[in-house]
């Protein structure tokens, strides 16, 4: 701990964020980094706690507290303060293979569990992490590291999202020949097409993919396993198969009028916009028309917020976001103590931008959809809603309709961001596997192995819809088990997350 009084001497300082009026003019990232010397002082705020909850990954109150990757947070924060950026990069790399992704899109579970945050502002660990990796890239410390010896074993990874990329990264470093199959025209999975460009510029993903290719990983694009390629053909070529197909089956809203035109799943909408942006700078118009339209987003999570921010950038006339649950409190309640994840109201970038453009918060809490009404041309014209109220029976809570609160909201475009119900069945079925009742690959308890000894599963397909940081951990831990099944043991070492069990 280089500065014992750092948390007293320095206040939290974040990098500058472009104003909503400025950033909605394009789809570029809008968070600016601090100068290196000022970022160093943020590292000095770390208290080097005796019990660092920031890296605990403990389950408290049914949620994760601290980093799922168990990043060595106090150690790299101290190295940041000392200005030893290269060693900070080496230390961060012991647990996180893709800090350029988590430093941008992770909700910073480490900061929510930071001891400094108990009575003040937490250490800006997420920005420290991002500054470390971007300094490493700029300084030439990140370079291809192909294995010196190959094992002769071949592994197929199905899906190139964060779990698939993490698994491929470690399996290749071990010396196995790894081929990643991706159904889209670009690798990256949700990193490429599920997360908007303003949160994660695609050049960042492409930079990492280029490194992985130079290390010997092969990517087969436009290859939809189970449709364009059979699982049997892959079995014949590979010794092991790891399914990282995600949980991309969107949860639908089955109400009258659902077949009406102008209703899109959020993931399809966001993917179409990003592909058009990458292919033509939005000039090909191969995405739902938004300009001048009244947009209704159904769902209050991160994906719903991404839809709001995207619609604002595309010139929507208005945006309304519907959320079934009650408005969260501004501060922690007594039932949600530190270091649990704070269940408090969060106003994200998309909502900030909507407030700036339209003059009001787009969110409507305790509201659900009862029907979609078409207009004269068959396209959606109105969304029928009803307010909900919370009903408690014993320990069970549920939201029930409140009589007399029915409304109609004008709408020209509806985006359903109601979460996901699991993985698509055909990917697993192609290998003779089935999904469980929750839409997940059925694996043995505490394992990534399926009923087929040659087939493993990881990421959202095994865990269910979750965070990028969890997907990376899943892929890394699955790599250890795949390696052990091939070699009889595993010497992959990821600190606290890969123990080879």
SS3 319: strand
* Cβ atoms of residues 274 and 192 within 8 Å: yes
Angle, vertex CA 260, rays to CA 255 and CA 262, nearest 5 = 115
How crowded is residue 175: how many other Cβ atoms within 10 Å of its Cβ? 18
- Domain shared by 209 and 305, yes or no: no
Distance between CA 441 and CA 451 in Å, rounded? 10
**What's this model's pTM, rounded to 2 decimal places?**
0.95
Nearest to 461 by CA among 450, 119, 124: 450
Neighbours of 253 (CB within 10 A): 17
Same domain? For 91 and 187 the reply is: no
pLDDT over 60 (residue 498): no
Give the domain-ending residue among 139, 166, 192.
139
Using the 3D structure, point to which of 139, 169, 195 is the last residue of a domain: 139
Residues 285 and 410 grouped into a single domain: yes
pLDDT for 16-74, tens place per residue? Answer: 999 999 999 999 999 999 999 999 999 999 988 888 999 999 999 888 999 999 999 99
Examine the domain organization and report whether 260 and 288 are in the same domain.
Answer: yes
The rounded distance, in Å, linking the Cα atoms of 496 and 501 is: 12
List, for residues 155-207, the tens digit of each pLDDT value: 999 999 999 999 999 999 999 999 999 999 999 999 999 999 999 999 999 99
197 and 326 in a single domain? The answer is: no
Let me know whether 414 and 425 are in one domain. Answer: no
> What range defines the domain where residue 226 resides?
154-248+421-487
In a domain, 499, yes or no: no
Residue 145 lies in a domain: no
Q: How many domains does the chain have?
A: 3
Tell me which residue of 239, 243, 241, 168 sits closest to 487, measured CA to CA: 239
Residue 494 in any domain: the answer is: no
Q: Does 256 share its domain with 228? A: no
Residue 371, pLDDT score: 98
**CATH at 288:** 3.50.50.60
Same domain flag for 379 and 459:
no
Token pair for residue 275?
């592909």
Are 161 and 196 in the same domain? yes
For residue 281, being part of any structural domain is answered with yes
Residues 361 and 404 in one domain: yes
Domain assignment present for residue 51? The answer is: yes
**Domain identity same for 259 and 365:** yes
CATH number at residue 22: 1.10.1060.10
* Residue 309 resides in a domain: yes
Say yes or no: 87 and 208 in one domain: no
CA 208, 248, 155: angle at the middle one, nearest 5?
Answer: 50
Q: What is the pLDDT of residues 345-385, one digit of tens each?
A: 999 999 999 999 999 999 999 999 999 999 989 999 999 99
CB 497 within 8 A of CB 69: yes
**Residue 94 structure tokens:** 């012991």
Structure tokens that stand for 189 in this block: 């999975």
């Amino acid at each position: 701990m280089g500065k014992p009084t750092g948390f007293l001497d320095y206040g939290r300082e974040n990098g500058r964020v472009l104003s909503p009026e400025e950033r909605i003019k394009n789809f570029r990232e809008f968070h600016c980094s601090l100068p290196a010397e000022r970022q160093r002082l943020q590292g000095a705020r770390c208290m080097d706690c005796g019990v660092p909850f920031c890296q605990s990954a403990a389950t408290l109150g049914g949620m994760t507290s601290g980093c799922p990757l168990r990043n060595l947070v106090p150690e790299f924060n101290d190295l940041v303060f000392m200005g030893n950026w290269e060693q900070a990069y080496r230390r961060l790399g012991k647990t996180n293979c893709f800090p350029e992704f988590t430093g941008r899109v992770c909700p910073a579970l480490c900061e929510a569990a930071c001891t400094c945050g108990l009575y003040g502002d937490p250490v800006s660990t997420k920005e420290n992490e991002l500054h470390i990796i971007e300094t490493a890239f700029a300084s030439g410390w990140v370079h291809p590291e192909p294995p010196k010896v190959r094992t002769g074993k071949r592994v197929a990874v199905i899906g190139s999202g964060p779990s698939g990329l993490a698994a491929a990264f470690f399996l290749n470093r071990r010396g196995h020949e790894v081929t990643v199959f991706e159904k889209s025209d670009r690798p990256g999975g949700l990193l490429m097409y599920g997360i908007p460009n303003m949160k994660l510029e695609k050049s960042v993903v492409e930079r990492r993919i280029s490194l992985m290719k130079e290390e010997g990983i092969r990517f087969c694009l436009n290859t939809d396993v189970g449709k364009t390629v059979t699982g049997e053909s892959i079995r014949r070529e590979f010794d092991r198969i790891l399914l990282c197909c995600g949980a991309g089956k969107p949860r639908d809203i089955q109400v009258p009028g659902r077949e009406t035109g102008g209703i899109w799943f959020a993931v399809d909408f966001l993917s179409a916009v990003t592909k058009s942006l990458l292919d033509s700078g939005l000039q090909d118009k191969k995405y739902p028309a938004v300009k001048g339209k009244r947009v209704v987003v159904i769902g209050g999570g991160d994906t719903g917020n991404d839809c709001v921010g995207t619609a604002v950038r595309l010139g929507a006339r208005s945006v309304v976001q519907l959320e079934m649950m009650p408005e969260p409190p501004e501060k922690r309640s007594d039932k949600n103590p530190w270091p649990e994840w704070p269940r408090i109201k969060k106003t994200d970038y998309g909502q900030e931008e909507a407030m700036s453009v339209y003059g009001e918060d787009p969110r409507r809490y305790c509201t659900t959809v009862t029907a979609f009404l078409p207009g004269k041309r068959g396209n959606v014209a109105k969304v029928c809603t009803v307010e909900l109220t919370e009903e408690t029976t014993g320990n069970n809570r549920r939201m029930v309709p409140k009589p007399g609160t029915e409304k109609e909201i004008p709408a020209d475009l509806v985006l359903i961001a109601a979460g996901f119900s699991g993985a698509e069945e055909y990917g697993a079925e192609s290998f003779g596997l089935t999904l469980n009742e929750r839409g997940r690959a059925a694996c043995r308890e505490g394992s990534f192995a399926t009923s087929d000894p040659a087939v493993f599963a990881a990421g959202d397909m095994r865990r269910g819809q979750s965070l990028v940081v969890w997907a990376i951990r899943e892929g890394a831990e699955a790599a250890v088990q795949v390696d052990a099944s091939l070699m009889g043991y595993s010497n992959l070492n990821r600190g606290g997350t890969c123990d080879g069990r």
